[in-house]
Amino acid sequence: MSSKRELIISKIRDGVVIDHIPTGRALLVLRLLGISGREGFRVALVMNVESRKLGTKDIVKIEGRELTKDELNLVALVAPTATVNIIRDYEVVSKFKVAIPDVIEGLLKCKNPRCITNQQREPVRSRFRVLSREPLKLVCDYCGTIHELNDIERYFGLT
Amino acid sequence: MTWFNRDVIGVLDFGREDFEVLFSEALNMEKYAKSRLDLLGDKVLALAFFEPSTRTRLSFETAMLRLGGRVIGFSGTEATSMTKGENLADTIRMLDAYANAIVIRHSLEGAAKFAAEIAESPVINAGDGSQNHPTQAMLDLYTIWREFKVIDDLSIGILGDLRYARVVNSLIQALSYYRVKLHLISPELLRPRQELVEFMNSRNMKYDWTDDPYGVINDLDVLYVVRIQRERFPDPMEYEKVKGAYKVTPKLIERGKPSLVILHPLPRVDEIDFAVDNMPQARYFKQASLGVPLRMALLKLVLAGDKS
């Protein structure tokens, strides 16, 4: 994002730039963050641009919406290489590499239809613990079912 | 860690030392399993059986009565407000207000853990879906310990539905605390799930898998048999493919060690020939009878603590 040649879309004033997303995963990242595009704030999405680190990469820029570090860390589920730049008044005020949290609550859906967390009428939120980061394996805290990356994409409503 | 006031959701919440405390308490309780020991006279136990059970429910009930306590509850949801649409959470809140501890069996996986998060009183899992059945595994281990005085260094064969039987899941987890050799025996379709295989690998357990009990029978100290869990098959056609796929017969048992011990959590369908019942190796009815002292010990430890 440093050289002018790569700058396809304009800089943002206040918001978040999620860089170094593996190619083709920018839409997944947005869905994971619960951003549909109908919320009203500006979102820019760049896919398949050159990257020194990754060969090609995707970038997502979100203007005018604050995202917490916990929310942003969830991006690591589908884009483990992603880096986040928090922008205030056109300046990068903080920068970090996303990391999968040890416990993921509420966001993802367990693929086991017989899991208690899939019952509509029970006041229960899903909860997953990270079994392994490489390769990604999450275990449902309630039913013990192991989820891998393709499960996350398929069952968690991300594809 | 003390047993007092603890939820009993899965065996992995406990350790070898906890089992030792439980077993020595159960051994003591065998003296009172047909009489009475007034330890829990002021306590009420709720039995919330959303799914059928004979042994687990009645042995919990018997255990509580032998300890001088009282029992409330239901078996099946027909006579409860669940038929009016009441959910599990509200049912548990109510039982929590009435009783000092709740024993729950439910067809959904994770139901007991969820109940334990809601209830203040201890919750004891009497089987949830195809995931956990910790008190059965504790009973299985206790029976093995009673038979051999040790559990380490035994060769244990587990024959049957390794995929859907929750007792297999809990038993293997419990055995991970001991140095045992496991022979897993099942039809191809009923091999253990990925979760269980990963668990055994992560604990460096010694195990192998075969579909032929005759190949391993002479190496076994214990043969643990489970029925095919018809009610847990997502597809009835899959069940039709494997039903009757294995049967323990006198011919098989005669090829094993004379000291072989055959266990089965019961109910049995057709996986053990009735002719085996009279062989000295058959210990599954004794195993079922130990369910009362084992659960007396468990209730005493959870409701009254380690002090006697």
On whether any CB of chain B is under 8 Å from the CB of A132, the answer is: no
Least trusted range by pLDDT, from A144-148, A152-156, B70-74, B302-306: A152-156
- Residue B91 annotated in active site: no
pLDDT band at B257 (very low <50, low <70, confident <90, very high): very high
Instruction: Tell me whether residues B109 and A119 touch, CB distance under 8 A.
Output: no
Instruction: Tell me whether residues B194 and A146 touch, CB distance under 8 A.
Output: yes
pLDDT reading at B163 higher than 50? yes
Pick the catalytic residue from B43, B57, B66, B105: B105
pLDDT tens, residue by residue, B201-222? 999 999 999 999 999 999 999 9
On whether any CB of chain A is under 8 Å from the CB of B108, the answer is: yes
Across the range B186-198, mean pLDDT stands at 93
pLDDT reading at A157 higher than 60? no
Our CA-based measurement puts residue A104 at a distance from the nearest CA of chain B, in whole angstroms, of 17
Distance (Å, whole) CA A68 – CA A111:
27
pLDDT reading at A156 higher than 60? no
Our CA-based measurement puts residue B239 at a distance from the nearest CA of chain A, in whole angstroms, of 18
Per-residue pLDDT at B242: 83
Domain boundaries A103-155, corresponding CATH code: 2.30.30.20
A-B CB pairs within 8 A amount to 51
Chain B residue with the nearest C-alpha to that of A139: B195
pLDDT reading at A110 higher than 80? yes
Per-residue pLDDT at A7: 58
pLDDT tens, residue by residue, A71-100? 899 899 889 999 999 999 999 999 999 999
Instruction: Tell me whether residues B195 and A146 touch, CB distance under 8 A.
Output: yes
- Residue B133 annotated in active site: yes
Our CA-based measurement puts residue B181 at a distance from the nearest CA of chain A, in whole angstroms, of 24
The three-class DSSP label of residue B266 is coil
pLDDT reading at B282 higher than 60? yes
Bridge partners (DSSP) of residue B182 are B156, B207
Per-residue pLDDT at B308: 56
Across the range B157-171, mean pLDDT stands at 94
The answer to whether B195 and B170 are in contact (CB under 8 A) is no
Residues of chain A contacting residue B87, judged by C-beta atoms under 8 Å apart: 119, 121-122
pLDDT band at A159 (very low <50, low <70, confident <90, very high): very low
pLDDT reading at A137 higher than 70? yes
**Dihedral sign computed on CA atoms, order B272, B273, B278, B279:** negative
Distance (Å, whole) CA B308 – CA B303:
12
- Residue B93 annotated in active site: no
Peptide bond into A135 cis (omega under 30): yes
On whether any CB of chain B is under 8 Å from the CB of A115, the answer is: yes
- Residue B300 annotated in active site: no
Bridge partners (DSSP) of residue A84 are A18, A96
Which of A110, A124, A128, A138 to mutate to test binding with chain B, by most B CBs within 10 Å of its CB? A124
Distance (Å, whole) CA B21 – CA B15:
10
Window A:59-98, CB contacts with B under 8 Å = none
- Pairing label, strands A15-22, A83-88: antiparallel
Across the range A117-136, mean pLDDT stands at 92
The residue with greater pLDDT, B39 or A53, is B39
Per-residue HEC secondary structure of A63-90 comes to ECCCCCHHHHHHHHHCCCCCEEEEEECC
Q: What would the DSSP string read from start to end of B157-171?
A: EEES-TTT-HHHHHH
Per-residue pLDDT at B183: 98
Of these ranges, A10-19, B173-182, B184-193, the one predicted with the greatest mean pLDDT is B173-182
The residue with greater pLDDT, A138 or A53, is A138
> pTM value?
0.89
Supply the mean pLDDT for chain A: 88
- Residue B206 annotated in active site: no
Q: Where are the domains of chain A?
A: 15-97, 103-155
Mention the CATH class of domain A15-97: alpha beta
Our CA-based measurement puts residue A116 at a distance from the nearest CA of chain B, in whole angstroms, of 5
pLDDT tens, residue by residue, B50-102? 998 889 999 999 999 999 999 999 988 776 777 777 899 999 999 999 999 99
Per-residue pLDDT at B285: 97
pLDDT reading at B110 higher than 80? yes
The residue with greater pLDDT, A4 or B78, is B78
Per-residue pLDDT at A10: 80
pLDDT band at B130 (very low <50, low <70, confident <90, very high): confident
Our CA-based measurement puts residue B175 at a distance from the nearest CA of chain A, in whole angstroms, of 18
Chain A residue with the nearest C-alpha to that of B106: A116
The tally of CA atoms less than 13 A away on the side-chain side of residue A143 is: 24
Residues of chain B contacting residue A142, judged by C-beta atoms under 8 Å apart: 109-110, 113-114
Cβ burial of A10 (10 Å; 0-12, 13-18, 19+) is: exposed
pLDDT reading at B38 higher than 90? yes
On whether any CB of chain B is under 8 Å from the CB of A116, the answer is: yes
pLDDT reading at B172 higher than 70? yes
Instruction: Tell me whether residues A119 and B88 touch, CB distance under 8 A.
Output: yes
Supply the mean pLDDT for chain B: 94
Residues of chain B contacting residue A125, judged by C-beta atoms under 8 Å apart: none
Which of B114, B163, B173 to mutate to test binding with chain A, by most A CBs within 10 Å of its CB? B114
User: What ipTM was reported for this prediction?
Assistant: 0.89
Per-residue pLDDT at B76: 81
On whether any CB of chain B is under 8 Å from the CB of A9, the answer is: no
